[in-house]
Structure 1
């Protein structure tokens, strides 16, 4: 019987950005060598949780979002280890302001 190799636990690398109209949020999560059926994704109004694994690595993380989103409208696609999540903001991106850089 083959003994299981312990998995390394890592926080996934993520990028979050909104569209030009400030209507939706895109979250990109790097999950190399992870198959769709090994991904657990839970989206809340102000955060998301992800757990995923490959043969040697387990990815875990909870992340806050920059504004309230509608989790019922979230769409997630895993494309060769890049999980892309798109979710609309509940009221647009209204609670932010641009800050000039001196």
Structure 2
């Protein structure tokens, strides 16, 4: 197989476990072989995207979140190859109101 002039690492999907309680998401993402400073993590109201290179590949993924989150209340911790993200749900300002029909 011929080598191309530009060498790119293959992209792989990391193993992910998503759980939640009444207040927030608890997301665990396995990133073995990655350094904390190399993780690029972004959370939007309805998405979580990450990119994390390691020696022989790049972990890359974007996930849609079923419930909107408060982007100001998100925390992340990386320990021994496991990225743990906690994201609080965005509470709706107003609940639907029943409208009488004339």
| Equivalent runs, 1:39-50 vs 2, <5 Å | 39-50=39-50
If you compute each CA radius of gyration, which structure gives the higher value, 1 or 2? 2
Alignment of 1:36 with 2:36, yes or no, is yes
Q: Give the strand-richer structure, 1 or 2.
A: 2
User: Does the CA-based 8 Å contact 1:33-1:80 persist in structure 2?
Assistant: no
Counterpart Cα distance in 1 of 2:66 and 2:83: 19
Counterpart Cα distance in 1 of 2:8 and 2:67: 37
RMSD: 1.5
Alignment-derived partner of residue 12 in structure 1 = 14
Between the two proteins, the alignment pairs up a number of residues equal to 86
Runs (5+) with no aligned partner, structure 2 = 1-6, 93-102
Deviation of 1:8 after TM superposition, in Å, equals 2.8
Q: Which digits, 9 at most, give the CA deviation of each residue in 1:51-71, with x for residues without a partner? A: 001111201111001200011
Runs of 4+ in 1 over 4 A off after TM superposition: none
Q: Under a length normalisation based on structure 1, what TM-score does the superposition of the two structures give?
A: 0.78
